[in-house]
Amino acid sequence: MNAPTKDTEDSARGERIAKWLARAGVASRRDAEKIIAEGRVKLDGKLVTQPATFVQPDDIVMVDGRAVNEPERTRLFRFHKPAGLVTTHRDPEGRPTVFERLPEGLPRLISVGRLDLNSEGLLLLTNDGALSRRLELPANAWVRRYRVRVFGDIDPRALAHLAQGVTIEGVRYAPIEAGIDSRKGDNAWLTVALQEGKNREIRRVLSYLGLEVSRLIRVAYGPFQLGTLERGLVDEVNPKVLREQLGLAAPSRRGKA
């Protein structure tokens, strides 16, 4: 008889609480571990101090004194983010957030990556923190595609050179594909594509080339497209499409649907 594996033993004990919280949409797995370390999580009335704590079916998990529902089936949504919203649940500066503008009736959602305050376009949202982390992994090599309006004198050779990568103030940026779509006077629309975006990467790289970004719209994140989704609206990705794109055998149906 084969000896039981670690995965088999973990399955028999339940699900690790950090992963459970992530699937419940409370936070990413990494942030769930921080919440546990801050003493904000209880399991059946007892304070959880270790992320290796296991959750069994029918256990009661509480965060900040509120019960957390069993993880629902994994869901993914496309949101057309307008400019002027921050991608966070609470903003210390009191600025309006993405999650305050979502329609009622949606599950608790977290974002896949971020778009900064002045950026627009496709933002993926999910109720599963583990899925959020998976979609953000550089190993996916998924292309993030943007339309960018810029002001300034464009050097096509400098744009083309971005495909070799560039170092700015000691920060190395991976190859970026950038091309001119249209130009009128000193204004132009570019298409920009990259695989692993650092914070404000496009704005910083184009500024380095002497170009001022006046609009930045994400139109694709890997296989998921903004398409004709109108600004401020949300649309759920078909579960079958989600499974096909991620190579999943079947959706998770643990807990409420």
113-139: pLDDT as tens digits: 899 999 999 999 998 888 888 888 877
Catalytic residue among 10, 59, 91, 116: 116
| Helix (H) or strand (E) segment spanning residue 15 | strand 15-16
Domains of the chain (ranges; CATH) run 6-67 (3.10.290.10), 76-138 (3.30.70.580), 143-221 (3.30.70.1560)
Over residues 79-92, the mean pLDDT reads: 92
Residue that wins the pLDDT comparison between 178 and 140:
178
Q: What is the pLDDT of residue 6?
A: 47
Q: Residue 21: which of 132, 125, 135 has the closest Cα?
A: 132
Q: What is the pLDDT of residue 31?
A: 84
Using DSSP, state whether 228 is helix, strand or coil: coil
Q: What is the pLDDT of residue 190?
A: 97
Would you call 91 a catalytic residue per the annotation? no
Q: What is the pLDDT of residue 131?
A: 86
152-202: pLDDT as tens digits: 999 999 999 999 999 999 999 999 999 999 999 899 999 999 987 788 899
DSSP string for 51-67 = TT-EE-TT--EEETTEE
The pTM of this model reads: 0.74
Return left, alpha or beta for 34; rule: phi > 0 is left, psi -120 to 50 is alpha, else beta.
Answer: alpha
Q: What is the pLDDT of residue 14?
A: 85
